[in-house]
Every structure is written in structure tokens, then in C-alpha cells.
Amino acid sequence: MIRLTTPISDEQILGLKVGDQVSLSGVILTGRDAAHKYMIDNFIGKANPTPSEHQVYGRLKAVLKGGVIYHCGPVVGGLETKQYRFVAAGPTTSSREEPYQADVIKHFGLKGVIGKGGMGAKTSTACVEHRACYLHAIGGAAVFLAQSVVKVTDVLKLEFGVPEAMWIIEVKDFPVVVTMDAHGGSLHRDIATASAEVLKRLVGVK
């Protein structure tokens, strides 16, 4: 088991290989479809953020530089009192963020992406070029994973709705597996290729 704490360095990322088990601690950010599109439209696609978004931009830069984004739509308690706590924190399907993820990695200096199902060639290339990796979380274990969330520090863009808001959280010993590394390795690509070959044999295609 490899233990990592955010912020994560290039050297630590380069030391990871596909198949490595990682225990992650530190501050990370949740972000799904609305969050990624918001970052592209308001920050990455513009020279400067608007004055009304400047504070959000500063918070994102501070968390994501050397940091990790988690594709997660959490179930959150304490909404009425703002004493937030994560009740469930399972990963969502990452492929939906493929159009955005490479640009977010590059712009913010992101070092890790957590989700399930893997991502495509564009994200894999960005992981190599910018020293990042994809970390696969356990699907179907949302309540178990929420136990690794020790603190909710802040929430950005709660108006997007609880699952789509960007939650800044502190995790301890969050369990993940490296399935896309900074050396071009992708377990998801390898499995897809091997499965296609097996399918061909099964249906008699040469």
C-alpha cells in the first residue's frame, strides 16, 4: 500500500504504476459534470475570471494545485444547519468528464483524478504530459467510502445542487487503485483490447 497526502509532487506521481494500491489522505475536491463545464466556461476558456467568480477561482487553484478531484455526487447530511457531513460518497462514472478532464489537469496542475470506469486517450495523454494519474475507487461502496471523509471544509456552487456542487473535503486513508499512470499505462485500455480479442475468437471473427 502506497500512502499519499495532498498536495502530491511530480516525483510521487512518477513513482506510481498501474495496479498500485494507494491510501490517500489530505484535502480533495468533488466535481462532476456541472463542475467541469463550469471550470471550462468560466476559467479555462477565459483569460481572466469575472469579478464575481474570482474568489471561487482562487479557492479552486489552492485546492487543485498538486491536488485531486473526485468524480462523486455525495449524499450530504446537515444541510439545514450547515454542519455538513458525508453520508455516502461513491464514485460516479468518469467517462462523462472525458471532454473536459485534460484541460482541467493542465490548467490547475491537478495530480489525481478519482472515479470509476476509467477515462480515454485524451485524459491518458494529459496524465503523461502533466504528471497525473487516474485512481479507481470502489463502486457500490458509497457508505464505506464516506467513512474516509473526516471533514467537510467548504462547498462551492451549492446552487448546482448537492450532487453537482464542488465539495472541499478532507479524507484520511481513502482507498484507491492506480488504473491510469503517468507513463501511459491504462488498465482500462488493456482490458478493452484483451476483451475485444476474446470476443473475436468467440464469434469466429479473424
Residues forming beta bridges with residue 30, ordered by sequence position: 70
Rounded to 5 degrees, what angle do the CA atoms 87, 96, 8 make?
65
Q: What is the rounded CA–CA span in Å between residue 121 and residue 102?
A: 10
Contact in structure between 42 and 53 (CB atoms under 8 Å): yes
* Greater pLDDT, 52 or 116: 116
Q: Give the separation between CA 27 and CA 157, rounded to whole angstroms.
A: 18
Entry pTM: 0.92
Please provide the CATH number assigned to the domain covering 2-203. Answer: 3.20.130.10
The per-residue pLDDT for range 35-92, each reduced to its tens digit, is 999 999 999 977 677 777 889 999 999 999 999 999 999 999 999 999 999 999 999 9
CB 17 within 8 A of CB 181: yes
Q: C-alpha grid cell for residue 96?
A: 462523462
Q: Is 183 a catalytic residue?
A: no
> pLDDT confidence of 206, banded at 50, 70, 90?
low
What average pLDDT does range 109-123 have in this prediction? Answer: 96
Q: Is 75 helix (H, G, I), strand (E, B) or coil?
A: strand
Task: Assess whether pLDDT exceeds 90 at residue 203.
Answer: no
DSSP-assigned beta bridge partners for residue 178:
135
Please give the residue that has the higher pLDDT: either 26 or 202: 26
